[in-house]
Chain A
């Protein structure tokens, strides 16, 4: 996993609530067996059907921070939603509320999802819409989002463990495999009637 410490980039304002993972990447794009190349599926339906959709607008090309409405990432557990955002070039998503599974997936994969008050999201939207060149800094070291042009300097919360894992770019599986003895010890105490599939 790619490390995340401080990222500065231009932002895309996505003024919609309840953007579910079927919108982030429709099911038809989930049929691949590879881990990369999902950028064409990102918001595919909206990109196809609405010429004014924010990602179709030239001024937002190359942006790397998505500023989204509340309840972003609801619905299906598809991690392809995270991959599509990353493959398209996003490094961070800012919102006032994220769905749990999407949030978990994003933080596993190194896409930083940042919780900010809706009032701050509103200010970022306005600033970015007024000037698409507005830069937003997502600083995981200081746990802070900065956008001087929007007069935003806002701390955010992220637990120490997740922050450390992202800063180091560590693979969860390798971390758990250090505790294989604990797993084996636990297995010896499991109830004898628990089902097995084989």
Chain B
């Protein structure tokens, strides 16, 4: 029977199948960080269990870590305790850890692909909903809760009930200045924050195939914002070229054998998806959110919508509540919205290509008066590479703060937070109430829009900038 890519990867990992029970799936890679793991390790200790496959497990410190003064102890005692707990757990259970100050430290979803640990056809989990990022390689990758983290640590498996499959086809070509971030924001606005519930999304079509590996990660990263636990893109030459030569990639003849296998993972021609969505890339423009969930977005050229324009009463009520929280008036052009802070970073847009794109726009310009711009690389490797390319200097000369790696202001668990009432343009993934700091207001944007907004002080695209 013809199968989709998601179904093939699933089938390849079934350890046990029994009537009336979920399938028991094998997990090829388990990524661990400090926030969702302490109770899982504690559970192992209490039950006298060990980690079954420390060699398929890797940990990094990302959610809590400060992005400056790395050599000083973490000031917040509770954050410090959590990081120290991870260090002790990794040491006790034999798990490889990349702590603060290590060149391989960074946001867990940047670290995995960078080391070559993320490969097509694998099952990858992490106690973090943005694990969907790794699906960009044609892996089946999804976020799990702490009970499941403990389950994977103990057994290297997870009992899972099957997903449905959804094809999101993006035809045509992106116009200049429009990015992968705009694709995924447009997808979420189209299908809604619950549209993907129960599904694994496969992104396909000409515009997806044309994306770089890092841009594909941006798309898959936000699958969860559409309600889908996982998003996947078929592996192709772009994927193989990205994986080849990385520290944990297959070598020599193994690599060739792996590529042959990876090619077989593509969805069969006549496979049927449970749902299909089609977008035209030519019609997309830079997208920004106006509300408090990632589905509340519009093109930058548009205005803040009128809640009365929503037919569904629950969407109308949500829009009214969002505008009150965001302190926005219906009808205000998005371009007139002024921000205090620009955040460039996160597992969505904190990779080297994102920094290059933003730096190219910022180069020779200045961050607007009264605006704070934080540039937080996704990993220390990304920072190193950016410095080698002179990008760090570009950001600093423009007046931006060039920080160390971590999740930072994406969720404000470290000191990088918005103050009550402050407004940001952020390349991260969630504009929930208080997400970036209590009372903070978030507009999700692409790196291009973030950079242009930093220069003008209002939500802007690079096309709005005067010639240098």
Nearest neighbor of B435 in chain A, beta-carbon distance: A22
**Is A132 among interface residues, defined by CB-CB distance under 8 A?**
no
Q: C-beta contact mask, A26-43 vs B, less than 8 Å → 1, else 0?
A: 111011111100000000
Q: Tell me whether A45 and B433 are in contact in the complex, defined as CB-CB below 8 angstroms, given that A99-B194, A191-B258 are known contacts.
A: yes
A196 touches B56 (CB 8 A): yes
The CA-CA distance from A180 to B128 in the complex, in Å, is 26
- Interface residues in B32-72 by Cβ distance below 8 A to A read 35-36, 38-39, 42-43, 47, 49, 52, 54-58, 63-64
The CA-CA distance from A194 to B197 in the complex, in Å, is 30
**Is B337 among interface residues, defined by CB-CB distance under 8 A?**
no
Q: Tell me whether A195 and B155 are in contact in the complex, defined as CB-CB below 8 angstroms, given that A69-B314, A77-B128 are known contacts.
A: no
**Is A23 among interface residues, defined by CB-CB distance under 8 A?**
yes
Stretch at the interface among B1-9, B21-29, B364-372: B21-29
The CA-CA distance from A159 to B22 in the complex, in Å, is 10
B117 touches A197 (CB 8 A): yes
B161 touches A159 (CB 8 A): yes
A20 touches B317 (CB 8 A): no
Residues on B with beta carbons closer than 8 Å to the beta carbon of A194:
28, 119, 122
- Whole-angstrom distance from the CB of A198 to the nearest CB of chain B? 4
B35 touches A30 (CB 8 A): yes
Q: Tell me whether A177 and B20 are in contact in the complex, defined as CB-CB below 8 angstroms, given that A45-B433, A197-B57 are known contacts.
A: no
- Whole-angstrom distance from the CB of B145 to the nearest CB of chain A? 4
Residues on B with beta carbons closer than 8 Å to the beta carbon of A80:
146
The CA-CA distance from A145 to B68 in the complex, in Å, is 53
**Is B432 among interface residues, defined by CB-CB distance under 8 A?**
yes
The CA-CA distance from A78 to B38 in the complex, in Å, is 12
- Whole-angstrom distance from the CB of A90 to the nearest CB of chain B? 17
Among A79, A97, A100, A161: residue with most chain B CB under 10 A: A100
- Whole-angstrom distance from the CB of B155 to the nearest CB of chain A? 5
Residues on A with beta carbons closer than 8 Å to the beta carbon of B393:
none
A18 touches B79 (CB 8 A): no
A177 touches B155 (CB 8 A): yes
A105 touches B318 (CB 8 A): no
Name the contact of A33 in the complex, choosing from B22, B39, B49 (C-beta under 8 A): B39
- Whole-angstrom distance from the CB of B261 to the nearest CB of chain A? 7
The CA-CA distance from A149 to B130 in the complex, in Å, is 43
The CA-CA distance from A30 to B405 in the complex, in Å, is 20
Name the contact of B129 in the complex, choosing from A30, A77, A179, A196 (C-beta under 8 A): A77
Residues on A with beta carbons closer than 8 Å to the beta carbon of B58:
197
B29 touches A77 (CB 8 A): no
- Interface residues in B407-453 by Cβ distance below 8 A to A read 411-413, 430, 432-435, 438
**Is B303 among interface residues, defined by CB-CB distance under 8 A?**
no
Residues on A with beta carbons closer than 8 Å to the beta carbon of B116:
195
**Is A183 among interface residues, defined by CB-CB distance under 8 A?**
yes
**Is A173 among interface residues, defined by CB-CB distance under 8 A?**
yes
A172 touches B159 (CB 8 A): yes
**Is B144 among interface residues, defined by CB-CB distance under 8 A?**
yes
The CA-CA distance from A32 to B229 in the complex, in Å, is 26
Stretch at the interface among B212-220, B248-256, B268-276: B248-256
Name the contact of A182 in the complex, choosing from B16, B150, B225, B249 (C-beta under 8 A): B16
Number of A-B contacts (CB under 8 A): 203
A177 touches B154 (CB 8 A): yes
A20 touches B293 (CB 8 A): yes
Q: Tell me whether A176 and B293 are in contact in the complex, defined as CB-CB below 8 angstroms, given that A74-B227, A79-B36 are known contacts.
A: no
B54 touches A161 (CB 8 A): no
A183 touches B78 (CB 8 A): no
Nearest neighbor of B126 in chain A, beta-carbon distance: A77
**Is B127 among interface residues, defined by CB-CB distance under 8 A?**
yes
Name the contact of A31 in the complex, choosing from B55, B64, B129 (C-beta under 8 A): B64
A100 touches B227 (CB 8 A): yes
A33 touches B129 (CB 8 A): no
Residues on B with beta carbons closer than 8 Å to the beta carbon of A98:
197
- Whole-angstrom distance from the CB of A100 to the nearest CB of chain B? 5
- Whole-angstrom distance from the CB of A31 to the nearest CB of chain B? 4
Residues on B with beta carbons closer than 8 Å to the beta carbon of A71:
193-194, 197, 227
B432 touches A22 (CB 8 A): yes
Name the contact of A20 in the complex, choosing from B22, B261, B432 (C-beta under 8 A): B432
Residues on B with beta carbons closer than 8 Å to the beta carbon of A30:
35, 413
**Is A101 among interface residues, defined by CB-CB distance under 8 A?**
yes
Residues on B with beta carbons closer than 8 Å to the beta carbon of A16:
317-318, 321
**Is B403 among interface residues, defined by CB-CB distance under 8 A?**
no
**Is B338 among interface residues, defined by CB-CB distance under 8 A?**
no
Name the contact of A172 in the complex, choosing from B151, B193, B194 (C-beta under 8 A): B151
**Is B15 among interface residues, defined by CB-CB distance under 8 A?**
yes
The CA-CA distance from A175 to B158 in the complex, in Å, is 11
A75 touches B248 (CB 8 A): no
Residues on A with beta carbons closer than 8 Å to the beta carbon of B224:
75, 101
A193 touches B255 (CB 8 A): yes
Given contacts A18-B318, A104-B145, 5 further A-B pairs with CB under 8 A are A18-B193, A99-B194, A101-B144, A105-B145, A197-B55
- For this complex, 12 residue pairs linking A to B, each with C-beta atoms less than 8 Å apart, are A16-B317, A17-B318, A18-B193, A18-B194, A79-B145, A176-B24, A176-B155, A183-B52, A187-B26, A193-B254, A197-B96, A198-B94
Q: Pick the 9 closest A-B CB pairs, nearest first.
A: A105-B145, A79-B145, A193-B250, A33-B38, A77-B143, A195-B248, A193-B254, A31-B78, A77-B129
* A binding-site residues for B, Cβ under 8 Å: 16-18, 20, 22-23, 26-28, 30-35, 45, 69-71, 74-80, 82, 97-101, 104-105, 108-109, 159-161, 172-173, 175-177, 179-180, 182-183, 186-187, 190-198
